[in-house]
């Protein structure tokens, strides 16, 4: 894969460059190692029979590559309670796919709400003093057109974050939009 676009929110890129240059280098190496394969045959009405890029395959490649570099899952488990209610819900959790030191990394090939929820998870772990920066790796619009319907694209996330200004997320984030590598 290749990087199509990078966006820095509240100094996310700068924090990686200055405080975690090795992590940034590893993230770039991982992206370069991933090979998108057209292995998913669409059953969707608008693309029936078309061979698409498979998010599950790419997710597995990311998992192997990040794990090999010492990244692990971060999970906080808690019990949900709400004011003026006797209801308690044990076993709830917030989870990040990959963390190393205080750098959080999410790879998202899901629907748009999942990309935006990743921003909320970055905010949560930042507020809990377990993170300095979040990195969101998402498909660019050009790649998204060759995936299942419902997969979102990073340009929409950048557009929305720009309009929210500094209000949300109030955590440093680096967005990396990826595309297929034309040489492969």
**91-114 tens-digit pLDDT:** 999 999 999 999 999 999 888 889
Tokens 């060759």, residue?
146
Mean residue pLDDT of the chain comes to 91
pLDDT value of residue 183 = 55
Rg (CA), the chain: 17
Q: What is the DSSP string of 84-109?
A: T---EEEEEEEEEEEEETTEEEEE--
Q: What are phi and psi of 73, to 5 degrees?
A: -80, 145
Across residues 46-61, what is the average pLDDT? Answer: 83
CA–CA dist 133, 123 (Å, integer):
9
- Using a 10 angstrom Cβ sphere, with 0-12 exposed, 13-18 middle and 19 or more buried, the burial of residue 23 is buried
Confidence of residue 41 (pLDDT cuts 50, 70, 90): confident
Domains of the chain, residue spans: 2-73+99-179
**pLDDT number for residue 148:** 73
Please give the distance of CA 111 from its chain centroid, rounded to a whole number.
11
User: How does DSSP classify residue 179?
Assistant: E
pLDDT for 149: 66
| Domain 2-73+99-179, CATH number (from 3.40.30.10, 3.40.640.10, 3.40.47.10, 3.40.91.20) | 3.40.91.20
pTM of the model: 0.91
């Amino acid at each position: 894969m290749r990087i199509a676009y990078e966006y820095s929110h509240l100094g996310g890129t700068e924090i990686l460059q200055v405080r975690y240059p090795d992590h940034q280098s590893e993230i770039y190496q991982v992206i370069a190692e991933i090979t998108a394969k057209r292995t998913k045959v669409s059953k969707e009405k608008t693309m029936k029979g078309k061979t698409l890029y498979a998010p599950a395959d790419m997710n597995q490649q990311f998992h192997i590559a990040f794990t090999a570099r010492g990244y692990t899952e971060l999970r906080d488990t808690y019990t949900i309670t709400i004011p003026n209610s006797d209801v308690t819900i044990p076993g709830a959790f917030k989870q990040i796919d990959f963390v190393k030191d205080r750098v959080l990394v999410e790879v998202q090939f899901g629907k748009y709400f999942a990309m935006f929820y990743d921003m909320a998870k970055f905010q949560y772990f930042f507020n809990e003093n377990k993170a300095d920066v979040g990195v969101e790796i998402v498909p660019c619009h050009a790649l998204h057109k060759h995936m299942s319907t419902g997969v979102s694209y990073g340009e929409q996330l950048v557009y929305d974050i720009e309009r929210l200004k500094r209000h949300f997320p109030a955590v440093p984030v680096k967005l990396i939009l990826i595309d297929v590598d034309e040489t492969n």
